[in-house]
Amino acid sequence: MMRQAGRYMAEYQALAKRHPSFRERSENTDLIVEITLQPWRAFAPDGVILFSDILTPLPAIGVPFDISDSKGPVIQSPVRSKEQVRELVPIDLDMLQFVGESLKILRNEIDGKAALLGFVGAPWTIATYIVEGGMTNTYTNIKSMCHTAPDVLKGLLSHLAQAISDYIIYQVNSGPSVYRYLIHGVDSFHLMCGSSGQNHISNSGHD
């Protein structure tokens, strides 16, 4: 219930006023736990979803970002070249300790009364933000990349796939029994890249 739905709650709105930074709310262990538990305490659903964001692991792979109240996520240096892909680092799970700590606390708080769901974004979904530099309705840059630089896109997706796999394993080891895998935008992959673009990506080399 909490990821989007729980944000309408007065309890959450009051907390958001005290802590106006979304990144603080999604990267502070105490706040993550409190926000995650709010709808569970109110409605006792069968599942409790970790309050997080799909971009949370980005700094851990070398992609800093901010969240603007007016624009949403903002990535100052979008990744659009082979050199930038090579500069990405293996995910540093030490930078995500607040996620693991939150899941362990939540597991104890819930105590088997509901399923604890972890939360990650799919590589393609995350790639759209990294390439576009934030939210987009047009996907102009990543659409172009499908056809003009498929090796760059393949390299980026490969790096993200490994990073997210490691992130999932880290979360699983911290407590959740079920997973929410956010794949918003995956349908746009076929629409933007088409069969020819997908073939370019599949056949392109990456080193």
pLDDT at residue 142 in the model: 95
Q: What is the CATH number of the domain that holds 195?
A: 3.20.20.210
pLDDT at residue 109 in the model: 96
Across 11-34, average pLDDT = 96
Q: What is the total residue count of the chain? A: 207
pLDDT at residue 134 in the model: 97
- Domain hosting residue 171, numbered range: 5-203
* Distance (Å, whole) CA 99 – CA 95: 9
DSSP-assigned states of every residue in the chain: -TTTGGGGSHHHHHHHHHS--HHHHHH-HHHHHHHHHHHHHHH--SEEE----TTTTGGGGT---EEETTTEEE-SS---SHHHHHH-----GGGGHHHHHHHHHHHHHHTTSSEEEEEEE-HHHHHHHHHHTB--SS-HHHHHHHHH-HHHHHHHHHHHHHHHHHHHHHHHHHS-SEEEEE-TTTHHHHHHHHHHHHHHHHH----
Summarised one tens digit per residue, pLDDT across range 155-187 is 999 999 999 999 999 999 998 766 555 555 555
Provide the mean pLDDT of the chain: 88
Res. 207: pLDDT tops 50: no
Sequence-ordered list of residues with C-beta below 8 angstroms from that of 145, at least 6 positions apart, any chain: 80, 131, 152, 153
Sequence-ordered list of residues with C-beta below 8 angstroms from that of 140, at least 6 positions apart, any chain: 132
Choose among 112, 129, 117: nearest CA to 67: 129
With tokens 């409605």, the residue in question is 43
Please give the tally of structural domains in the chain: 1
* 83 token code pair: 């050199």
Separation in Å, CA 186 to CA 62, 118, 128, 140, 191: 23, 20, 10, 15, 9
* Distance (Å, whole) CA 204 – CA 91: 24
Summarised one tens digit per residue, pLDDT across range 30-79 is 999 999 999 999 999 999 999 999 999 999 999 999 998 888 999 999 99
Res. 95: pLDDT tops 60: yes
* Distance (Å, whole) CA 83 – CA 203: 20
CA angle 71, 64, 75 (to 5 degrees): 30
Choose among 161, 177, 166: nearest CA to 50: 177
Res. 136: pLDDT tops 60: yes
